[in-house]
Amino acid sequence: MDNRIAEFRKEIKMTQQQLADKVNVTRQTIISLEFGRYNPSLNLAHSITKALKKRHIEQVFNLR
């Protein structure tokens, strides 16, 4: 699964730690997500979309 977490996170000048704190995960999990090593659950994907101030999950996550 592709994602644009890093891009949107930088857009709103948010650090990995800040995003991790917002969605209640560790910074390592955010790193894994940004590198595409780990696919999030629907819950986490939804939380990240909200934290990145986007409306739809499809804006942030895309199937390859």
Radius of gyration, alpha carbons of the chain:
10
Residue from 37, 27, 26 nearest 3 by CA: 37
Q: How far is the CB of 7 from another protein (least distance, A)?
A: 21
For another protein, the binding residues in 2-61 under the rule CB under 8 A are: 23-26, 28-29, 32, 37-38, 40-41, 43-44, 47
64 is written with which tokens? 């390859």
Rounded to whole angstroms, the Cα distance separating 48 from 45 reads 5
Residue (8 or 48) nearer to another protein, CB: 48
- The binding site for another protein (CB under 8 A) comprises 23-26, 28-29, 32, 37-38, 40-41, 43-44, 47
